């Protein structure tokens, strides 16, 4: 049986189910079969013909901005990451995760990131934050990995330590997802 998989945020589970979508317990995804009209599920259809290199998709994403002291010159520098309230990473539904070691972003997302000119792509293709003073790379290893790192556990950070700026529409990028496990 042919299945068309859907992109459904956890908050829309009831809506997609009431439209007649079915749950694939093995792959943990919602789908419709060949007898169902894709037009009825248009808002949940995955975009398959666009850049297939993107492993992360979210329609509830933010730019998370924090201050980090440059390891080279000690200048306080604004650093950013992408934070998703919900989305998919390699077709797995996730909530409250950040993205590090970004290797590709859609043109639409790239346009939305223009206000942060120190977030740049290296000649090796990796997107990094650069110090505003000395242009040193602020490696994601020091931003996401350990408790106390600016983006280690965004939902639990103290008020005011991270500024969240909503991103418009559905964002697509490739990188590694990070989330705190209780």
Q: pLDDT (tens digit, 9 = 90+) per residue, 58-101?
A: 999 999 999 999 999 999 999 999 999 999 998 889 999 999 99
Task: Find out whether 89 and 55 touch, Cβ atoms under 8 Å.
Answer: yes
Residue (of 55, 89, 67) closest to 178 by Cα position? 89
Burial of 125 per CB tally in 10 Å (0-12, 13-18, 19+):
exposed
- CB 132 within 8 Å of CB 124: no
CA dihedral 105, 108, 109, 114 (to 10 degrees): 120
Strand partners, 176: 100
Confidence label for 26 from pLDDT (cuts 50, 70 and 90): confident
Q: In the sheet where 127-130 sits, what is the strand order? A: 119-121, 127-130, 137-138
Smallest CA-to-CA distance from 66 within 149, 182, 173, 174 is with 149
User: What's the confidence (pLDDT) of residue 50?
Assistant: 45
- Please tell me the predicted confidence (pLDDT) of residue 61: 96
pLDDT at 175 over 50: yes
Residue ranges of the domains in the chain? 3-44, 56-178
pTM tops 0.85, yes or no = no
Q: Is the distance from CB of 150 to CB of 141 less than 8 angstroms?
A: no
Q: Up-side HSE of residue 141: CA atoms within 13 Å toward CB?
A: 3
The answer on pLDDT for 47 being more than 70 is: no
Query: Of 2-6, 11-15, 54-58, 102-106, which gets the smallest average pLDDT?
Result: 2-6
């Amino acid at each position: 049986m042919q299945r068309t998989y859907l992109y459904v945020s956890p908050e829309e589970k009831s809506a997609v189910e009431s439209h007649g979508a079915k749950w694939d317990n093995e792959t943990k995804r919602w789908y419709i079969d060949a007898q169902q009209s894709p037009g009825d599920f248009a808002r949940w259809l995955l975009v398959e013909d666009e850049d297939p290199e993107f492993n992360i998709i979210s329609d509830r994403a933010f730019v998370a901005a924090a201050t980090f002291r440059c390891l080279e010159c000690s200048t306080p520098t604004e650093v950013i990451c992408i934070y998703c309230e919900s989305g998919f990473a390699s077709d797995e539904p996730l909530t409250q995760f950040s993205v590090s070691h970004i290797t590709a972003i859609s043109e639409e997302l790239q346009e939305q990131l223009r206000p942060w000119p120190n977030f740049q792509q290296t000649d090796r293709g990796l997107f990094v934050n650069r110090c505003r003073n000395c242009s040193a790379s602020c490696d994601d290893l020091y931003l996401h990995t350990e408790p106390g790192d600016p983006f280690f556990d965004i939902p639990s950070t103290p008020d005011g330590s991270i500024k969240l700026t909503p991103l418009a529409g559905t964002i697509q990028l490739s990188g590694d997802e990070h989330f705190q496990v209780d």
